[in-house]
Amino acid sequence: MLEAALSVNRADDGVVAKDSDDDDEVSVNVDRDHFMDEFFEQVEEIRGFIDKISENVEEVKRKHSAILAAPNPDEKTKEELEELMTDIKKTANKVRSKLKSIEQSIEQEEGQNRSSADLRIRKTQHSTLSRKFVEVMSEYNGTQTDYRERCKGRIQRQLEISKCLKLFLE
């Protein structure tokens, strides 16, 4: 049985392959475009935006608790809450835009019937970022819903107290 061993030596500018059965050395130049480097920079930027949203959601939760715990909520706290919510909205729009851009480039490459490792990597990264973004935004929406329900409960308690007080005074 004939066995040929192939050793590959990666150089900075190309790949050098040598067949152990042969003394000939074959040099293959690999054009190392930095499109994947650029893609991974974009991924890190998006991941940073998603992390920022997550941190802001946690801060929103703290502001909600502070507002609900105070008998007379501080206007400054309410303004800070509004700023956080505006920041979340702006950052979420950036993330949506960037994810849509990646999705379009993936669809464009798929339309050209290209199937490469780079394409699979981009699809996986896009899927992971999208899932993480949806999770963070779902948590934010849940936080908002919880806050609304807690505010309703607080208002109902205040109304009950005022009704009792009114009956007591009559």
Q: What is the pLDDT of residues 86-100, one digit of tens each?
A: 999 999 999 999 999
- Give me the number of domains the chain comprises: 2
Do 26 and 54 lie in a common domain? no
Q: How confident is the model at residue 23, as a pLDDT?
A: 54
Do 10 and 48 lie in a common domain? no
Query: Token match 């394409």: residue?
Result: 119
The mean pLDDT of 137-142, rounded to a whole number, is 98
Q: Give the range of the structural domain holding residue 129, as residue numbers without chain letter.
A: 35-169
The CB density around residue 102, as the number of other CB atoms within 10 Å, is 19
36 phi/psi in degrees, rounded to 5: -75, -35
Q: What is the pLDDT of residues 11-64, one digit of tens each?
A: 444 444 444 455 555 544 344 456 788 999 999 999 999 999 999 999 999 999
Q: What percent of the chain has pLDDT over 90?
A: 54
Q: 21 or 111: which carries more pLDDT confidence?
A: 111
Do 147 and 86 lie in a common domain? yes
Q: How confident is the model at residue 35, as a pLDDT?
A: 72
Q: How confident is the model at residue 29, as a pLDDT?
A: 38
Q: How confident is the model at residue 170, as a pLDDT?
A: 66
Do 39 and 77 lie in a common domain? yes
Do 55 and 102 lie in a common domain? yes
CATH number at residue 155: 1.20.58.70
Q: How confident is the model at residue 13, as a pLDDT?
A: 41
Q: How confident is the model at residue 155, as a pLDDT?
A: 87
Do 18 and 40 lie in a common domain? no
Do 19 and 79 lie in a common domain? no
Do 69 and 133 lie in a common domain? yes
Do 25 and 76 lie in a common domain? no
| Helix %, strand %, coil % of the chain (to 5) | 75, 10, 15
Q: 13 or 134: which carries more pLDDT confidence?
A: 134
The mean pLDDT of 144-170, rounded to a whole number, is 84
Helix (H, G, I), strand (E, B) or coil at 67: helix
Cβ atoms of 64 and 147 within 8 Å: the answer is: yes
Query: Token match 């609304």: residue?
Result: 148
Q: How confident is the model at residue 144, as a pLDDT?
A: 96
Do 22 and 104 lie in a common domain? no
